[in-house]
Structure 1
Amino acid sequence: MTSASNRKIRIGVQLQPQHAEYKAIRRAASEAEDLGVDIVFNWDHFYPLYGEPEGLHYECWTMLGAWAESTSRVEIGALVTCNSYRNPELLADMARTVDHISDGRLILGIGSGWFEKDYDEYGYEFGTAGGRLDDLAEALPRIESRFGKLNPAPTRKIPVLIGGGGEKKTLRLVAKHADIWHGFGDPEVVERKVKILDQHCADVGRDPKEIERSVAVDGEPEELGPKLLDLGVSLFTVATGGPDYNLDKLRSWIEWRDKQQS
């Protein structure tokens, strides 16, 4: 069975790189791959978002480079990269490099940024939400342009995932630039967002079916999955944090995916 968009159902896991030693994170990535997950994500922060605010934490993109070597089948990426932390041309080069290390398994997840502590502690200007979205709008064409100049070129058209639900700016950027949209919320919220995204696609002359719809899920797959499938969602991502990385919820979503596609 496929979703309403006729895309194959995929399951992702976000291994939040907080409150754990790296060995535990690496083991969790390998276990998730063995379970049959389609994508393993981390996130791009410098401090934990939950629990002890000064707890153990690791940087995003150096970790993705390591995952490119320690995994062999799954796609990998950040959910999501903060646009503010790296020059767009540098980010494109980093993504191209991890793309090659992984033999073409990188997804470039990106968003405008929101966690003020990261900015303050690492010396970035926080500014305003609107300003950060404007910066993202400027960065995306620069990233695309740099991909075309790199030698060697990326192994494939690196899929761009844009995370966020802002209805005026973020979803318009998704319509213009993204291969995957990642959102949050219950089916009622997702329904509203995808209708707005479809309208933005119409406005910019884009077929909305070109954009894979991804949602963070925490509920039971038998109840939540069909509702989201009806909205065209085909990528379902479960999050888990350290120190133990409980993958029970991930197992249930993988089992559900396999039942739909059997």
Structure 2
Amino acid sequence: MTVDRPVRIAVQIQPQHATYETIRAAAATLEGMGVDVLFNWDHFFPLRGERDGLHFESWTMLAALAEQTSRVEIGALVNCNSYRNADLQADMARTIDHISAKGGTGRFIFGTGSGWFERDYDEYGYDFGTVGGRLDALADALPRIEARWERLNPAPTRKIPVLIGGGGEKKTLRIVARHADIWHSFSDAATLERKLGILAEHGRAVGRDVSEIEISTEVSRMTEAQAGELHALGATLFTIGLSGPDYDVSRVEPWLAWRDRLNGS
């Protein structure tokens, strides 16, 4: 099966080094500019710059963005599976789905991954464990999340899209093949081409047509030509990361124009 998807532009509003008022204003501006998706990230401390700089929590912010916005899809790029019970994650996602719906269909994307930032774990009292152990925990959590969505009352307003981030070829891509609606990675064209082949192998192993999975990638440091190579391989969701203290939304404008050219609009 071949799926024809439009190109979409996402912006990750990195919740670091900025006041919440600045984050709120950036979200409003970006939605008004025509961005398709707004992401944040699920960490407790900045990833760059002053290590103890301003920082805000992901899920409470997503609920606020769900209420603030009316058109864009929203989610974390990505939620850390380790920080919350799987069934609780499902319930939180369903609740934000309804907050974002406003009488229609929800706009929440459940972006998730196995976790990697050790400081978060150490300072908040989570067991960091091993890469393999965290991936196994993610593989165990996703069926619980999906099952909980089927039992919640009220149910989600739609099948909540699952975005899985990461490029590990043995475990992560197998989880992607089984559960993801969207796969996000940081890849150049050669890497993406190789990993798509491996993803297809995992899809055959689990009985999934992986063309159903939307391909997402980060383009903050890419040229349009490099992004075009990724698009030629099937990528359609392209994310630009913006950090505080000031979110330079002017960086997004050329990508929106690029999107519109590719979509013929």
> Could you list the per-position Cα deviations for residues 192-246 of structure 1 after superposition, in whole angstroms to 9, with x for gaps in the alignment?
1111111111111111111000001124553123201111100000001001011
Identity of aligned residues (%): 63
- SS of the residue 2:163 aligns to: strand
Q: Which residue of 2 aligns with 1:130?
A: 132
CA RMSD of aligned residues (A): 1.0
> Could you list the per-position Cα deviations for residues 44-73 of structure 1 after superposition, in whole angstroms to 9, with x for gaps in the alignment?
000000000000000000000000011110
Contact 1:161–1:181 (CA under 8 A) maintained in structure 2: yes
Structure 1: runs of 5 or more not aligned = none
Structure 2: runs of 5 or more not aligned = none
- What is the one-letter code of the residue matched to 1:60? S
What's the TM-score, normalizing by structure 1?
A: 0.97
CA distance in 1, matches of 2:193, 2:28: 34
TM-aligned CA deviation for residue 249 of structure 1: 2.3
- SS of the residue 1:240 aligns to: strand
Contact 1:221–1:256 (CA under 8 A) maintained in structure 2: no
Q: Which residue of 1 aligns with 2:48?
A: 50
Decide which of 215, 227, 238 is 1:236's aligned counterpart.
238
Decide which of 250, 258, 264 is 1:256's aligned counterpart.
258
Q: Which residue of 2 aligns with 1:24?
A: 22
Q: In the alignment, does 2:90 pair up with 1:88? A: no
CA distance in 2, matches of 1:222, 1:55: 32
TM-aligned CA deviation for residue 189 of structure 1: 1.4
Decide which of 217, 220, 233 is 1:218's aligned counterpart.
220
CA distance in 2, matches of 1:227, 1:248: 23
Contact 1:178–1:211 (CA under 8 A) maintained in structure 2: yes
Contact 1:88–1:139 (CA under 8 A) maintained in structure 2: yes
- What is the one-letter code of the residue matched to 1:188? A
- SS of the residue 2:63 aligns to: helix
Contact 1:221–1:252 (CA under 8 A) maintained in structure 2: no
CA distance in 2, matches of 1:87, 1:251: 38
Contact 2:3–2:212 (CA under 8 A) maintained in structure 1: no
CA distance in 1, matches of 2:7, 2:135: 30
- What is the one-letter code of the residue matched to 1:237? T
Q: In the alignment, does 2:144 pair up with 1:146? A: no
- SS of the residue 1:148 aligns to: helix
What's the TM-score, normalizing by structure 2?
A: 0.96
CA distance in 1, matches of 2:96, 2:178: 24
- What is the one-letter code of the residue matched to 1:23? E
- What is the one-letter code of the residue matched to 1:122? Y
Relative to structure 1, the CA distance from residue 114 to residue 38 in structure 2 (aligned partners, 3 Å threshold; closer, same or farther) is same
Moved more, 47-56 or 215-224: 215-224
Relative to structure 1, the CA distance from residue 89 to residue 97 in structure 2 (aligned partners, 3 Å threshold; closer, same or farther) is same
